[in-house]
Amino acid sequence: MKFWSNKPLSVSNNDTSKLLINTPSLLEAIKKELQNCSIQLDYTCIPFHSVNNYTDILNFINKTYDYDDSNFKLHYSEDLIKYFLKENGVLCCFYPKGTTTLIGLICGSSKDLVVRKQVFKSVEVNFLCLVKQLRNLHVSSYMINVLTKTCIELFNVQCAFYTIGKQVDPKYFCSKSYYHIPINVHKLNMIDFIKTHYYPEFKQANLKLELIENINDKQIHSLYTKLDEFYENKFDIYHKLSYSDFKSTFNNKAFVHFKDSSNKNYICLYCLDTVNKDKQCTASNGYLYLYFTDNLFTLLESVAYTCQNNDIFDMITLLHDPYLKNKLLLKGTSTLYYYAYNLQLPGIETKRNGLVTI
């Protein structure tokens, strides 16, 4: 069963966004595909609020969630995993028939997807992890179908959103490339992430940022209001972030927040370390998660300056236009392709795509 070969994907030439198949018909098609699949596994689907053993989940993700052809892998913290698993969503774990040996897992989080002012109830799919010996055997197709069926039944979602590190179908609605801002060049050279002797000198210019360490509810709400307004005006597609979701990032060690004194510029990074698999050495990496500003790259340089002078991150990573040229940035080797399952979308300009996955 090759998952994408017969799935409802469509990119239109107009501004229309609409569901491709009604939910009952979609659910029936998935059930039939699972029933007829040559691959059959035992599985458990656990709502996020019932997950209590984070250690085993975290260990499995950090062991299996990587690319075979890369010398680097990501290392997730328990704080970051707990953040993703805290709201409406489900964790599906898979086992060979009659055993309790975990061979794969996948997560889905129910979220409101905003597409040019229209709101669709969607599932964000993440952490598709599978032991290496079962990759390329279409087991992941079975896992995705189980997750999609479960999310429709539990949360009545209408569509799903995927990011994939390779082009699996021509009908992707956007693509973005990885870019890095090297801060601790010595560390990045040591783990072989870059090979350069250029040491950047960052400037604050007129934008002085402060690391947010203490903040009250009123201040958080003020930032949330500005963030919500910024995303509504800036992006054609994004996930509607709830206030409780935003507020929880301030009590989670995986997130680092910066703002200026006027509250006109704000940025949030999440911590996701990069590990050299051969050398088993690590660089701390801050990924761009949320922001509002009139000039993203001026803001990023000020963040890099603050990080360099306070030893916060070894580098900053973001996703942006594949053809972007900026003196701050080193272009990475990976591209993400964005797919909407059961939702016809127009092509989205990279700069108008506000979707971010952890």
Domain 174-352 sits in CATH 3.40.630.30: yes
Residues of the chain scoring pLDDT < 70:
1-2, 67-69
What gap in Å lies between CA 313 and CA 282, rounded to an integer? 11
Distance CA 244, CA 247 (A): 5
pLDDT in tens, 12-53: 888 889 999 999 999 999 999 999 999 999 999 999 999 988
Predicted TM-score (pTM) of the model is 0.93
Query: Could you tell me how far CA 222 lies from the centroid of its own chain?
Result: 25
Instruction: Supply 187's token pair.
Output: 């560390």
Q: Do residues 127 and 143 lie in contact, with contact meaning Cβ atoms separated by under 8 Å?
A: no
Q: Which of 56, 102, 103 is nearest to 81 (CA)?
A: 56
Residue 231 DSSP one-character state: H
Name residue 64's amino acid: T
Integer angstrom CA distances of residue 130 from 66, 92, 114, 334? 10, 12, 31, 20
- Where exactly does CATH 3.40.630.30 map onto the chain? 3-164, 174-352
CATH topology classification for 3-164: Aminopeptidase (3.40.630)
pLDDT of res. 301? 94
The tens digit of pLDDT for each residue in 294-313 reads: 999 999 999 999 999 999 99
- The residues, any chain, with a CB within 8 Å of residue 178's CB and separated by 6 or more, are 317, 318, 319, 331, 332, 333, 334, 335, 336
Cβ atoms within 10 Å, residue 55: 9
pLDDT tens readout for residues 213-226: 999 999 999 999 99
Cα 238 to Cα 286: distance, rounded to the nearest angstrom:
21
- Between the CA of residue 170 and those of 99, 160, 166, 337, 338, what are the distances in Å? 38, 17, 11, 10, 11
Structure tokens given for 48: 């996020």
Q: Which tokens sit at 112?
A: 């409101």
Give the CA diameter of the chain. 63
Quick one: CA dihedral 324, 328, 333, 337, positive or negative? negative
Cβ atoms of 336 and 320 closer than 8 Å: no
Residue whose pair of structure tokens reads 């709400």 in the numeric block: 221
β-bridge partners, 316: 181, 286
